[in-house]
Amino acid sequence: MSNRTFTMIKPDAMKNGHAGAILDKIIKAGFRVVALKQTKLSAEKAGEFYAVHKERPFYGELVEFMSSGVIIAAILEKDNAVADFRTLIGATDPAKADEGTIRKLFATSVGENAVHGSDSDENAKIEGSFFFSGLEQY
């Protein structure tokens, strides 16, 4: 089991001013920041990042949303990082997310849901290196 995951603070949370509170929750939950930056995805890059969802009905909306504003991308470290981070962020749909989770507190809707969290160790690695070179990870 790897001890790293990858996250993005999505454009809705950035626009709504929740970035600081979200990072605070992540750090207080015991995650160490390995790499972090603010950036903006082009529609092409967002499409590439979410290519696994290409055939899903929400793909077009997702790509448009994820390229609609700046995001914060980060690699995080903790024992059991992937699973623990997905517990911290809560269900995809904030209406179904547990109390106290990041999506329950800060998400707008099922599509605009404040944060991304990798769903496997393999994807955490792929997604982390989509945004960061080895020299940017400490």
The residues that touch ligand RTP, with contacts defined as CB under 6 A, are 53, 58, 62, 92, 110-111, 113, 116-117, 119
25 is in an annotated binding site: no
4 is in an annotated binding site: no
53 is catalytic: no
11 CA to centre of own chain: 11
In the complex with ligand RTP, which residue's Cβ is closer, 77 or 119? Answer: 119
In the complex with ligand RTP, which residue's Cβ is closer, 59 or 138? Answer: 59
130 is in an annotated binding site: no
Torsion of CA 52, 83, 106, 65, to 10 degrees: -10
3-state DSSP assignment of residue 15 = helix
Smallest distance, ligand RTP to C-beta of residue 123, A: 9
What are the strands, taking DSSP E only, across the chain? 4-9, 32-40, 70-77, 115-117
Active-site residues, by number, are: 116
